[in-house]
Chains A and B, each alone.
Chain A
């Protein structure tokens, strides 16, 4: 485990030099939130209206949290990096290293995400306070549980992106798969809570990765319940195990197909 901690630490220290870049990329996040703020303000005719169990303030806080989890992942570049590693043959440099490639990817990604997660989270809370005036009713212990759930969501998201990136063992361009994945997460998990979808779809989504990567943490933030939090955390742990095993399986199978010419 220590070696992965060192990879995490190295990536974290290296990203500390690029804090300004993170702040700059926050502009993109701000624009997204601005659009959704105006959209939901228009949809909710008055602030006391409740739609599918969500008030206007809860709805906007929901989007603020799901967008933080999605934005700090920077999934497109992460997916492209993995695909390029496979396609260019760079992945072979990892074969003779005393670590697992999946472990390396996760620990370096976590190191990279740590800085942006902290800065985005602080920025998002300030933004929410400016737009909405107050936080949802949540105490410090509940807030820590939400943060933990957000971190677990980031880990699962990273594993899901690794799975898509590793498809490069089988197809040349994994980009299109990433587009569709990102839109599924955006539509079914980021913009709308699961409650907005009709019956059968709602049930399917409750067992899908969307429940653990975006809906769960955001739902806890806007309407905390200890029973719900235990359910979400258990589901997240199960998903971490499943996605990790899937990554390993695809990597091990893909490794056998690897054929690198030249150097």
Chain B
């Protein structure tokens, strides 16, 4: 019941933030359209690479597009609903967390879902367009939606974990930024091109295995064990993010920042 209330509040918060953003329609729509164009520009990169070689890292062109569809869709969901997870370090460092401590709701959820990133709607739309063009089937569409949600929750959890390091270390926002960028950088390239230590890192420190690679394997060739590994990892990451944040919260001492929220 409590979880349902939290979700209801999260969606209401997103709804009002979206309405605020829609006040300037030109900016709103240009943000979405340009983000779609921004993502679409990478198709050229892959067309050129596939004109040189038929197979890149064990992936066909269609599979790379599916990888892009999933990455774009899940990053879109994460950045739209949990925009502030990517700015958590600064929220902790400058004392803005105070605003959420006095609210009778979960502090972490309130803090990370209090604003939306409009351009992320472009990511979500682009992900769906690419999926419909390159890999649509009724059987896999449900799976695609599930993996879109699990991947978005995992990358949000990672953003929360690295952002929460600011409870312990000052100036850790640079590390959090690098970590989040690293996930974006690797997530859109086939895993087969990476070898040795990097490949191990991609399945451990930067858990792209469960964010991108395993979901793509399941989408193209269903395997129940891999499906359960993704779901299980997602749950574990969420629990871990809450534990780290709540432990850090006990150390939080605010700042002398005084601002008026209107």
Residues on A close to B: CB < 8 A? Answer: 21, 24-25, 27-28, 31-32, 34-35, 38-39, 41-43, 51, 171-173, 175-177, 179-180, 183-184, 186-188, 191-192, 196-197
Complexed CA–CA distance, A41 and B119 (Å): 34
Q: Is the CB of A34 within 8 A of B44?
A: no
Closest CB of chain B to A175's CB: distance in Å? 7
CB neighbours (8 Å) of B178 from chain A are: 24, 27-28, 31
Among B27, B185, B192, contact of A173 (Cβ-Cβ < 8 Å): B27
Q: Is the CB of B185 within 8 A of A42?
A: no
Among B33, B119, B185, contact of A32 (Cβ-Cβ < 8 Å): B185
Known: A31-B181, A172-B27. A39 touches B193 (CB 8 A): yes
Among A24, A41, A186, A196, contact of B48 (Cβ-Cβ < 8 Å): A196
The winner among A32, A39, A172 for most chain B CB atoms within 10 A is A39
Among A41, A180, A192, contact of B37 (Cβ-Cβ < 8 Å): A180
Closest CB of chain B to A39's CB: distance in Å? 5
Residues on B close to A: CB < 8 A? Answer: 24, 26-27, 30-31, 33-35, 37-38, 41-42, 44-45, 48-49, 52-53, 56-57, 119, 174, 178, 181-182, 185-186, 189, 192-195, 198
Known: A31-B181, A31-B185. A176 touches B31 (CB 8 A): yes
Closest CB of chain A to B155's CB: distance in Å? 16
Q: Is the CB of A183 within 8 A of B42?
A: yes
Complexed CA–CA distance, A31 and B198 (Å): 11
Complexed CA–CA distance, A42 and B24 (Å): 46
CB neighbours (8 Å) of B192 from chain A are: 42
Q: Is the CB of B189 within 8 A of A43?
A: no
CB neighbours (8 Å) of B193 from chain A are: 38-39, 41-42
Closest CB of chain B to A26's CB: distance in Å? 10
Q: Is the CB of B30 within 8 A of A176?
A: yes
Known: A42-B192, A183-B42, A184-B41. A192 touches B174 (CB 8 A): no
Q: Is the interface of B mostly helix, strand, loop or mixed?
A: helix
CB neighbours (8 Å) of A171 from chain B are: 26-27, 30
Q: Is the CB of A191 within 8 A of B24?
A: no
Among B34, B182, B194, contact of A176 (Cβ-Cβ < 8 Å): B34
Closest CB of chain B to A48's CB: distance in Å? 16
Q: Is the CB of A187 within 8 A of B37?
A: no
Q: Is the CB of A187 within 8 A of B41?
A: yes
Closest CB of chain A to B65's CB: distance in Å? 16
Closest CB of chain B to A69's CB: distance in Å? 19
Q: Is the CB of A38 within 8 A of B194?
A: yes
Closest CB of chain A to B30's CB: distance in Å? 5
Among A39, A183, A192, contact of B189 (Cβ-Cβ < 8 Å): A39
CB neighbours (8 Å) of A183 from chain B are: 37-38, 41-42
Q: Is the CB of B181 within 8 A of A177?
A: no
Closest CB of chain A to B59's CB: distance in Å? 11
Which of chain B's residues has its CB closest to A184's CB? Answer: B41
Among B34, B174, B185, B189, contact of A24 (Cβ-Cβ < 8 Å): B174
Complexed CA–CA distance, A180 and B24 (Å): 21
Which of chain A's residues has its CB closest to B29's CB? Answer: A176
Which of chain B's residues has its CB closest to A196's CB? Answer: B48
Complexed CA–CA distance, A176 and B30 (Å): 7
26 contacts between A and B (CB under 8 A): A21-B174, A24-B174, A28-B178, A31-B178, A31-B182, A31-B186, A35-B186, A35-B189, A39-B49, A39-B189, A41-B193, A42-B192, A43-B52, A43-B53, A171-B27, A172-B24, A172-B26, A173-B31, A176-B38, A179-B34, A179-B37, A179-B38, A180-B34, A180-B38, A180-B41, A191-B45
